[in-house]
Amino acid sequence: MKKVIIFDIDGTLVDTNWLHTKAWQEAFGQFGTEVDALDVLSQIGRSSDDIIAKFMGHNASIDVKEQIRDSYRRIYGNLAKDAKGFPKVRELFTKLRAMGKRIVLASSAKEKVVNSNIDLVGIRGLIDGVITSSKVKKSKPDPEIFDLALAVVEGNPSEAVVVGDSAWDMEAARTLGIAPVGVLTGGIPENVLKKAGAIAVYRDIEELYKELDSSPLCT
C-alpha cells in the first residue's frame, strides 16, 4: 500500500506550462536566440540553468545567463496572472488525506511561485511538506528533489508514488525506485511519459480523482 504521494506542481496541479514556455521564448528572443515552443515545453520542469544551457550552450557568459534568467522571471511574473488551477485538485488532496496518505510537493520553481500556486488550488493545510528549487543542487531528471521530498515524511521509495506531467518527473522517480504516474496536462504525449517510465497515465487530475481507488496511488 502506498503511503506517500509526491506531486509536481506546474503542468500537474496548475495550468502554467505554456506560460513558462512563452516567458522563456520571449527571454531568449531578447538575446537573439529564437527557440521553438515545443522544444521549450519539453524542458519545463528542469532548472533555469539547465534550460539556458540547453538553448544557449554552456559557453554563454555568467552575465548573459543572469540577464536571460531575470528577463524570464520578469516576463513570467506578468503572465502569472493568467495561471489557473486544474479541476479537482483540492478534492483529490482531501480524499488522499482522509485515506491517511502523506502528501509532499516537489517543484523546480522558486518558493514565491510555489506558494502562489498552493493558494491558487486551495491546498494549504492539506500537504505535509514542500521542496522548492532553493533546496536542491541538481534538477530533474536527477532524483534529488524526490529524495528530499521522501525525507520530509521519512518515507521509503517502495511506498511512494510521484505524480507529474513531464518525462523528467518520470525518469527521476524511476531512478529512485518510486512509482511514476503521469498526467497529460503539461503537454507531453502519453507515449513519451510511458517511455520515460510512467506506470499509468491519466488525462488530468480530475480523471485521477475519479479513478483514485483503482489507481497506483491506492494499490
Domain residues for the domain of 65 are 17-82
- In a domain? residue 96: yes
Same domain for 138 and 109, yes or no, is yes
Is pLDDT above 90 for 139?
Answer: no
Same domain for 11 and 92, yes or no, is yes
CA nearest 12: which of 49, 45, 46, 47? 45
Alpha carbons 22 and 77: distance in angstroms, whole number: 12
Number of domains in the chain: 2
User: pLDDT tens for residues 58-106?
Assistant: 777 888 899 999 999 999 999 999 999 999 999 999 999 999 999 999 9
Same domain for 203 and 103, yes or no, is yes
pLDDT at 219: 84
Please state the pTM of the whole predicted model. 0.94
Same domain for 64 and 25, yes or no, is yes
pLDDT at 217: 97
pLDDT at 60: 78
- Under the banding of pLDDT at 50, 70 and 90, the label for residue 161 is very high
Mean pLDDT check: name the lowest of 57-61, 144-148, 165-169. Answer: 57-61
Q: Dihedral sign for Cα 28, 30, 34, 38, please.
A: positive
Average pLDDT over residues 24-45: 94
Which burial class, exposed, middle or buried, applies to 59 when counting CB atoms under 10 A from its CB (0-12, 13-18, 19+)?
exposed
Is pLDDT above 80 for 22?
Answer: yes
